[in-house]
């Protein structure tokens, strides 16, 4: 008798960045099997698309409650798998997604309902409207730095717009990614409407190349450019969020206490592993010394340690590779003349294997250094003293990236003027990056920070086909139809002046165009009398 061989399902294991402990595993999928997953979701999606917007909104509310029902468990998993302090798991990931679901339920139906289109006066008898039709299946390729809030928001927006979703979580954080699908299943969405596929880059590539109608990708510029190219080759859309090098501009009249506190949070939250984290600071000379002193003193006081400890403010970096990249950039800056005031690799007694990097503050940096050109993605804040706000703006714009930026001043008008001059998708005055937690606000950048927008009404519109539908009562014929004669051109010439021209020219235009206008009107009404 032959032995029965049970096939072994390939697994992707997840390990804690704190101590390397194995947290669990998920089943992976072969790249050549991704197409069938997308096809399966596509077979379920038409039913979902036919639901009234109010019904889809109800599922969004139920998903919010599903998160609340397992809130503590999700927070623990987020911190264990990604390494962010547990307070940040609540504040920066979980609570914003609950609120996003509420906003989608309340605002989504109004944004996605048919919109009447006003028409020019000479075709007022017609009716036109925009309809917002689901695309079909949307693919979401998620990052590891915010493995819950970034993909969850994109999945929720795609669902609210009537699509099915295939989600590929980051390989470093597969467990929390899988829970996104489970939340929507708990909320009662049709089985198979949201599917998760795990694996390496080949799985992501297969999702891009599949029949998914649009891809939301968050990650590096290099990979994102390839995603955009592959989507363009297939004549389908993509939304690309490719990171940033966010500047902070500190004016002389800034509230210095808030600017220092904002710099710490914007630069060091999530151990600096934030696409829109503060990676460059430009402070005017008059207040530079006090600002640097305050930032250094406060950075030294931040507590590095176990992310599950509620008093921890800086957890371990997500991987050794990311840790080494940050150390390399800091060492390169110091070797080229920068001053490191505090921070760097540090041992945490109870967890000697953790990738801990204490908050670092640098001065004496220049734009020739790698640390001012490349994305750091770690708890490092380089500070540059400038002679004027104009110099700060010029340096802020001297980057290939353009995701977000912040301006710190007590003068609102000045802050908004500076904001207009900064090349980025978002500018916050006296704050930084908070709006990612407000789904009503758009998110996305310019230059190499990507294309398209997520969140807000623009994010919803990324997930639909905008179709124009018109209605003609068919009681008359259009005046521009055949047959042509000289009355049509003369009537149009007169109409242009009568409808849109100077008031002084209108009497003469009416005299010249009256007979042609009557003839055109008669031609339009001719068929009415035939009936």
pLDDT tens digits, residue range 263-314?
A: 999 999 999 999 999 999 999 999 999 999 999 999 999 999 999 999 999 9
Alpha-carbon distance of 182 to 257, in angstroms, equals 43
Contact of 221 with 242, CB cutoff 8 Å = yes
Task: Give me the percent of the chain exceeding a pLDDT of 70.
Answer: 97
Provide φ and ψ at 463, rounded to 5°. Answer: -100, 15
pLDDT recorded at residue 287 = 98
Q: Is the pLDDT of residue 375 over 70?
A: yes
Instruction: Report whether 424 contacts 399 (CB < 8 A).
Output: no
From CA 236, how far away is CA 232, in angstroms rounded? Answer: 6
DSSP H helices, 20-122, are 34-49, 53-69, 71-82, 86-88, 95-112
Decide: helix, strand or coil at residue 430: coil
Q: What's the N-to-C CA distance of the chain in angstroms?
A: 87
The answer to whether residue 4 scores a pLDDT higher than 60 is no
Q: Which residues have a Cβ under 8 Å from the Cβ of 284 and sit 6 or more positions away? A: 250, 251, 252, 385, 386, 387, 388, 389, 392
Read off the pLDDT of each residue in 315-331 and give the average, rounded to a whole number.
Answer: 97
Q: What pLDDT is stored for residue 525 in this prediction?
A: 78
φ/ψ of 203, rounded to 5, equals -70, -45
Model confidence pLDDT, tens digit, residues 476-526 = 889 999 999 999 999 999 999 999 999 999 999 999 999 999 999 888 876
Alpha helices by DSSP H, 83-171: 86-88, 95-112, 149-160
pLDDT beyond 70 at 187: yes
> Which two three-digit tokens encode residue 30?
């072969």
Mean pLDDT, rounded, for 137-151: 98
**Paired strand residues for 12:** 26
How many Cβ atoms sit within 10 Å of the Cβ of residue 226? 16
Q: Which of 379, 417, 361 is nearest to 249 (CA)?
A: 417
Q: Say yes or no to pLDDT of 26 above 90.
A: yes
Q: Which residue, 166, 266, 250, 248, is CA-closest to 208?
A: 166
Helix (H, G, I), strand (E, B) or coil at 349: coil
pLDDT above 90 covers a percentage of the chain that reads 93
Going through 285-435 in order, the beta strands assigned E by DSSP cover 339-345, 357-363, 380-386, 401-402, 404-408, 426-429
- Selection from 425, 57, 93 nearest residue 273 by Cα: 93
**Residue 241's pLDDT is what?**
96
The beta-strand segments (E) located in 193-309 are 194-196, 214-218, 237-241, 246-250, 278-284
Phi, psi of 398 (to 5 degrees): -85, 70
Report the side by side order of strands in the sheet with 464-471.
Answer: 115-116, 127-134, 464-471
- Phi, psi angle pair for 304, to nearest 5°: -100, 135
Q: Is the pLDDT of residue 9 over 70?
A: no
Q: Is residue 179 within 8 Å of residue 74, measured between CB atoms?
A: yes
Pairing verdict, β 137-141 and 214-218? parallel
Q: How many CB atoms lie within 10 A of CB 301?
A: 11
- CB-CB contact of 109 with 458 (8 Å): no
Active site residues: 241, 275
Q: In which band, very low, low, confident or very high, does the pLDDT at 20 lie, cut at 50, 70 and 90?
A: very high
Give the residue among 409, 364, 461 at the shortest CA–CA distance from 158: 461
Torsion of Cα atoms, 27 then 239 then 57 then 185, to 10°: 0
Alpha-carbon span 349 to 346, nearest angstrom? 10
Residue 529: burial class (beta carbons within 10 Å; 0-12, 13-18, 19+):
exposed
d(CA 516, CA 531): 24
Query: What pLDDT is stored for residue 7 in this prediction?
Result: 46
Residue 11 CB coordination number (10 Å): 13
**Cis peptide preceding 467, ω within 30 of 0:** no
Residue-wise pLDDT tens digits, 392-425: 999 999 999 999 999 999 999 999 999 999 999 9
Q: What band does 79 get if pLDDT is binned at 50, 70 and 90?
A: very high
Summarised one tens digit per residue, pLDDT across range 341-371 is: 999 999 988 887 789 999 999 999 999 999 9
Structure tokens at 397: 């714009």
pLDDT at 5 over 60: no
Q: Answer for the pair 420, 316: CB distance below 8 angstroms, yes or no.
A: no
pLDDT for 10 equals 87
Three-state secondary structure call for residue 303:
coil
pLDDT confidence bin for 14, thresholds 50/70/90: very high
pLDDT at 3: 46
């Amino acid at each position: 008798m032959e032995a029965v061989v049970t096939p072994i399902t390939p697994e992707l294991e997840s390990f804690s960045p704190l101590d390397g402990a194995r947290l669990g595993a998920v089943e992976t999928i072969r790249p050549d099997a991704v197409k069938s997953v997308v096809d399966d979701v596509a077979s379920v999606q038409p039913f979902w698309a036919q639901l009234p917007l109010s019904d889809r909104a109800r599922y969004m509310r139920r998903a919010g409650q599903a998160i609340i029902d397992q809130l503590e468990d999700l927070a623990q998993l987020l911190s264990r798998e990604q390494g962010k302090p547990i307070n940040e798991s609540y504040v920066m990931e979980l609570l914003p997604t609950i609120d996003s679901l509420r906003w989608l339920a309340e605002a989504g139906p109004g944004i996605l309902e048919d919109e009447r289109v006003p028409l020019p006066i000479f075709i007022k008898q017609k009716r036109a409207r925009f309809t917002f039709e689901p695309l079909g299946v949307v693919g979401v390729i998620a990052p590891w730095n915010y493995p819950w809030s970034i993909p969850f928001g994109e999945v929720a927006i795609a669902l609210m717009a009537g699509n099915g979703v295939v989600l590929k979580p980051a390989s470093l954080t597969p467990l929390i990614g899988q829970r996104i699908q489970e939340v929507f299943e708990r909320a009662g969405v049709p089985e198979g409407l949201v599917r998760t596929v795990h694996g390496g880059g080949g799985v992501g590539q297969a999702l891009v190349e599949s029949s998914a109608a649009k891809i939301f990708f968050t990650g590096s510029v290099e990979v994102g450019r390839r995603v955009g190219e592959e989507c363009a080759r297939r004549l389908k859309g993509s939304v690309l969020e490719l990171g940033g090098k966010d500047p902070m501009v500190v004016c002389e009249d800034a509230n210095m206490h808030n600017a220092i506190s904002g710099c710490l949070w914007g630069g060091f939250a999530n151990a600096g592993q934030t696409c829109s984290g503060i990676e460059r600071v430009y402070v005017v000379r008059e207040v530079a010394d006090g600002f640097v002193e305050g930032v250094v003193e406060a950075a030294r006081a931040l507590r590095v340690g176990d992310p599950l400890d509620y008093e921890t403010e800086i957890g371990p970096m997500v991987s050794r590779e990311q840790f080494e990249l940050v150390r390399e950039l800091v060492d390169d800056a110091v070797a080229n003349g920068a001053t490191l005031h505090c921070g760097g690799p540090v041992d945490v007694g109870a967890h000697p294997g953790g990738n801990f990097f204490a908050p670092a503050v640098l001065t004496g940096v220049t734009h020739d250094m790698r640390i001012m050109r490349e994305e750091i993605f770690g708890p490092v804040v380089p500070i540059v003293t400038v002679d004027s706000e104009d110099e700060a703006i010029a340096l802020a714009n001297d980057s290939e990236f353009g995701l977000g930026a912040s301006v710190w001043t007590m003068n609102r008008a000045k802050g908004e003027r500076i904001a207009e001059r900064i090349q980025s998708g978002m500018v916050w005055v006296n704050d930084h990056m908070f709006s990612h937690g407000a789904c009503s606000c758009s998110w996305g950048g310019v230059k190499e920070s990507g294309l398209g927008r997520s969140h807000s009404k623009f994010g919803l519109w990324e997930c639909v086909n905008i179709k124009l539908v018109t209605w003609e009562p068919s009681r008359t014929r259009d005046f521009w139809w055949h047959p042509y004669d000289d009355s049509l051109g003369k009537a149009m010439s007169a109409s242009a002046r009568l409808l849109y021209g100077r008031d002084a020219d209108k009497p003469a235009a009416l005299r010249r165009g009256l007979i042609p206008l009557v003839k055109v009107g008669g031609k339009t009404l001719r068929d009415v009398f035939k009936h």
